[in-house]
């Protein structure tokens, strides 16, 4: 038989099925063979051995035998079919196995059973299958001669003569002569067949593998010469057909292996494409988030410039006041220019991530700058602006422009959602290892549902700006993203109708990113 290399999948299957062989054997349950047929004919199983030719199909029927009082549990059969080179293990839910086109060799079939919960395994049965064309022919001749002997024994034991038809003494004498003659003929033929059957048995028993010798003259005595030649031609044709089919199977196996490799390559390509797709989606999301932050940050200074210009043209102001307003407009315009330059840099680069420029600075100074910029917007609504700064705060590692945006968002929101003649206050203080900034107002306040979604992107809260100011729902989301980048925290306390207090904290010492 042509050697084959046991594949990785066969080894894996052996490892998986090891658990079933390691189960405790239940001696009360055993697998038994019900019947065996070879070449479509029943085969008498002796010493659990089957003999067949290469062209024979072998069918083995089996069952699980268990005591009547044994618990009924779901179970499966497992077959192990092997020779000196190959081994195949299958788990079955049926009680029959079929083998076809086996090559000349000796095989061993082991049938076991186990329950699905792996609590017991039945006593297995093992059958030896010997595929040998010459020995199979001897077995068939033996069966044929045995059938002839049994037929003769049946004829001897069942005489069909009706003694009532012979009434005279001469008739009985004639009958005795006929019966005696027939008996002698049967006995001689019976002895001849026994001698022939005994010789055939010795030939079968002495044969082993390829060394068995077949008396072809015996075959020619059973079938005619022309029939024997026809069988030889048919046998040669079948062998050629089998060889052709095996060649086709080998070609299909090679094609299957080639397709499997191509499928594996396609799966790798699909995995890479999926990974690239996820990366592109993440980059697109980062870009959208970044531009949402920048556009929102440009909108607030632009609105402030508009308010400053209206103030400059609507009131009689002193030269000093006009100069202050012009300085505020210049500062705010510079902020918009800086943001525009950042947009240009982002468009020129492939990266869509925010870049923070950390430096050590006084957060009170940042808060004062924002407080001063929003003073005019508060004055337009007759809102009182208050501040309380802790002068003992240490410098912190922050990106001052980004923290400026955070405080500006909180103060502008407080002014936006506070009615005329209200109050907005900013406060700084130290708590443990953090600096804390609070912006409080006595405006509309937030509901419990508002508190749940206040810092989510695009969240539209129940409170509306008191003078119809625009609101995109991005301000507080931007605040949280910028504070997350500083390893900071943001929270809110609010009561409907009484106002809100937005607070954030930043570590005094910059944490490792």
Choosing from 222, 246, 269, the residue where a domain stops is 222
In a domain, 253, yes or no: no
DSSP state of 351: -
Per-residue pLDDT at 141: 73
What spatial distance separates the first Cα and last Cα of the chain, rounded to whole Å? Answer: 66
What is the average pLDDT score of the chain? 78
- For residue 25, the domain's CATH number is 2.60.40.10
In a domain, 209, yes or no: yes
One domain, residues 391 and 429: yes
User: Is 156 or 412 the better-scoring residue by pLDDT?
Assistant: 412
Choosing from 100, 131, 162, the residue where a domain stops is 131
- For residue 310, the domain's CATH number is 3.30.565.10
One domain, residues 365 and 494: yes
Per-residue pLDDT at 411: 94
Domain span at 182: 136-222
One domain, residues 68 and 202: no
One domain, residues 31 and 106: yes
Q: pLDDT confidence of 503, banded at 50, 70, 90? A: very high
Cβ contact 118:20 at 8 Å: yes
| 289 CB neighbour count, 10 Å cutoff | 18
Q: pLDDT confidence of 383, banded at 50, 70, 90? A: very high
| Strands 359-361 and 499-507, sheet pairing | unpaired
Q: pLDDT confidence of 206, banded at 50, 70, 90? A: low
Q: pLDDT confidence of 230, banded at 50, 70, 90? A: confident
Work out the average pLDDT over 196-209: 57
One domain, residues 47 and 192: no
Work out the average pLDDT over 324-335: 80
Counting residues of the chain whose pLDDT is more than 90, the rounded percentage is: 25
In a domain, 72, yes or no: yes
In a domain, 228, yes or no: no
Residue 387 and residue 420: Cα distance in Å, rounded? 19
pLDDT tens digits for 12-45?
Answer: 444 445 444 456 788 888 999 999 999 888 888 8
Residue 95 has phi, psi (to 5 degrees) of: -115, 35
Per-residue pLDDT at 394: 93
- From residue 103, how far is each of 99, 253, 304 by CA, in Å? 11, 19, 93
Per-residue pLDDT at 470: 53
Total domains present in the chain? 3
Per-residue pLDDT at 99: 92
Work out the average pLDDT over 489-507: 93
Residue 365 and residue 403: Cα distance in Å, rounded? 11
Choosing from 222, 252, 269, the residue where a domain stops is 222
One domain, residues 443 and 339: yes
**Cβ neighbours for 345, distance < 8 A, ≥ 6 positions apart:** none
């Amino acid at each position: 038989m042509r050697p084959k290399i046991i594949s990785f999948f066969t080894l894996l299957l052996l490892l998986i099925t090891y658990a079933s062989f390691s189960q405790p054997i239940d001696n009360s349950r055993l697998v038994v063979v019900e019947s065996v047929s070879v070449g479509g004919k029943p085969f008498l199983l002796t010493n659990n051995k089957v003999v067949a030719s290469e062209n024979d199909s072998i069918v083995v029927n089996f069952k699980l035998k268990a005591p009547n009082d044994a618990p009924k549990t779901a179970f499966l059969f497992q077959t192990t079919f092997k020779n000196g080179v190959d081994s195949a293990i299958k788990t079955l839910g049926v009680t029959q196995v079929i083998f076809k086109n086996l090559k000349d060799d000796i095989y061993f079939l082991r049938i076991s059973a186990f329950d699905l919960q792996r609590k017991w395994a039945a006593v297995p049965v093992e059958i030896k299958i010997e595929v040998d064309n010459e020995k199979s022919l001897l077995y068939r001749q033996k069966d044929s001669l045995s059938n002839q002997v049994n037929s003769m024994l049946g004829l001897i034991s069942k005489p069909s003569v009706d003694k009532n038809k012979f009434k005279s003494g001469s008739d009985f004498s004639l009958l005795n002569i006929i019966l005696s003659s027939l008996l002698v003929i049967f006995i001689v033929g019976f002895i001849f067949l026994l001698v022939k059957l005994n010789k055939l048995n010795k030939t079968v028993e002495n044969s082993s593998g390829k060394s068995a010798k077949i008396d072809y003259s015996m075959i020619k005595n059973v079938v005619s010469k022309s029939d024997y030649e026809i069988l030889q031609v048919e046998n040669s044709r079948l062998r050629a057909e089998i060889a052709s089919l095996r060649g086709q199977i080998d070609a299909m196996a090679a094609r299957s292996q080639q397709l499997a490799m191509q499928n594996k390559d396609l799966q790798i390509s699909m995995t890479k494409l999926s990974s690239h797709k996820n990366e592109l989606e993440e980059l697109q999301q980062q870009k959208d988030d970044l531009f949402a932050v920048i556009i929102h940050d440009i909108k607030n200074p632009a609105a402030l410039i508009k308010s400053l210009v209206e103030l400059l043209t609507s009131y009689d102001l002193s030269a000093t006041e006009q100069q202050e307003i012009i300085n505020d407009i210049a500062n705010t315009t510079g902020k918009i220019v800086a943001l525009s330059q950042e947009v240009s840099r982002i468009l020129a680069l492939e990266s869509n991530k925010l870049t923070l420029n950390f430096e050590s600075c006084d957060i009170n100074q940042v808060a004062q700058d924002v407080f001063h910029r929003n003073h005019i917007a508060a004055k337009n609504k007759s809102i009182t602006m208050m501040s309380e700064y802790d002068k003992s705060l240490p410098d912190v590692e922050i990106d001052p422009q980004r923290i400026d945006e955070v405080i500006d968002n909180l103060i502008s929101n407080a002014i936006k959602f506070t009615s005329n003649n209200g109050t907005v206050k900013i406060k700084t203080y130290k708590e443990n290892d953090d600096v804390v900034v609070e912006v409080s107002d006595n405006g509309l306040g937030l509901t419990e549902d508002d508190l749940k979604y206040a810092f989510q992107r695009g969240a539209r809260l129940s409170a509306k700006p008191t003078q119809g100011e625009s609101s995109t729902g991005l301000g507080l989301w931007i605040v949280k993203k910028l504070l997350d980048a500083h390893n900071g925290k943001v929270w809110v306390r609010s009561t409907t109708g009484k106002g809100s207090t937005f607070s954030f904290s930043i570590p005094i010492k910059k944490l490792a990113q």
